[in-house]
Amino acid sequence: MKQHIFVPLLTYPDATSDVMIANAIALARHMQATLTVCAVEITVPDVSNALSSLIIDAAQMAREAGALSRKRGSVLTQKAMDEARAASVDLRTRKIKVEEPFVVEALAEASRAYDLVLLELAGLSRPIVEAVLFGSGRPLILYPPAPFGGRIDHVAIAWDGSHAAARAAHDASIFLECASKVYLLTVIDEKPVTYETGDYLVENLLKSGVVAEVAQVRARDEPVGEVLQNKAFELRADLLVMGGFGHSRLREFVLGGATRAVLTSITLPILLSH
């Protein structure tokens, strides 16, 4: 079945980069998938009052922010259309108009209609990444701000035997089926891991015609997220697959250590699933 990829085009306060659009086009071409880009046009509510208007024209600033968002959305959409046409990628366009405080909720909801979401990791986009990861019910691939070819040939799966890891491995099945090599990465000195489950997963992959093997690594008190990325890079993986872990406590979202590290800094595309 044809895959459908969703890419939000952020416009405010920072805009999605041209590199991210190129990465999305390349992946959609490799997967022969439909790509939907969605310009997120924001409106900023006017919260000015008589006193503040004497100091700063908040209403004017809100109008200017909205105009900038619309302009960026139009430019980014046109760029995606031009690059998709050149690459013969089936592209669809959408637009979401939402008040600035509600962008994260709107994107989490919009993502639910697609098979895969692509986002670029940037400082101001982290709340959006978290909202899509934990609120959309869909897997997402998180890209660093660097160009990547669309071909995914080697895949590394971060495996600790948890339900989140199992879900991520399942959600990455379309990439596993096409990979020439799959590695099951297990950190053996960070927490107890049931190795038998990983062995059975490798066995099932081999029976399905996927060349797979277990690769064990020691964290040695280094952040697990960094250790997994370094090992994946060493193995020349084009994609690292991880389960995103987090839970709500006292209205504050608490992230697992590996997930927190990944949402802070990444060096290769990472498929996250929750």
Bridge partners (DSSP) listed for residue 181: 154
Alpha helix ranges (H) inside the chain:
18-31, 50-55, 58-87, 103-111, 126-135, 163-171, 173-178, 195-207, 224-234, 257-262
3-state SS string for 12-78: CCCCCCHHHHHHHHHHHHHHCCEEEEEEEEEECCCCCCHHHHHHCCHHHHHHHHHHHHHHHHHHHHH
Side chain identity at residue 227, one-letter code: V
The angle, 0 to 180 degrees and rounded to 10, between the axes of the packed helices 103-111 and 126-135 is 40
Name which CATH class applies to 4-143.
alpha beta
Burial class (CB in 10 A: 0-12, 13-18, 19+), 204: exposed
Q: What is the mean pLDDT of each run of 10 residues along the chain (274 residues)?
A: 95 93 97 97 72 62 89 97 98 94 93 97 79 92 92 94 90 95 90 77 94 91 87 95 64 51 80 91
Q: Which residue, among 208, 144, 143, has the nearest Cα to 173 in the 3D structure?
A: 208
pTM: 0.89
Token reading at 178: 């096409």
pLDDT (0 to 100) of residue 259: 63
pLDDT (0 to 100) of residue 224: 84
Residues 6+ apart with CB under 8 A from 14: 122, 124, 125
For 154-273, CATH gives: 3.40.50.620
Q: Which residue, among 67, 1, 77, 80, has the nearest Cα to 33 in the 3D structure?
A: 1
The domain ranges of the chain are: 4-143, 154-273
Per-residue pLDDT of 187-230, as tens digits, reads: 888 776 666 788 899 999 999 999 999 999 998 888 888 899 99
If DSSP codes are grouped into helix, strand and coil, which group holds residue 228? Answer: helix
- Do domains 4-143 and 154-273 share one topology? The answer is yes
pLDDT (0 to 100) of residue 161: 86
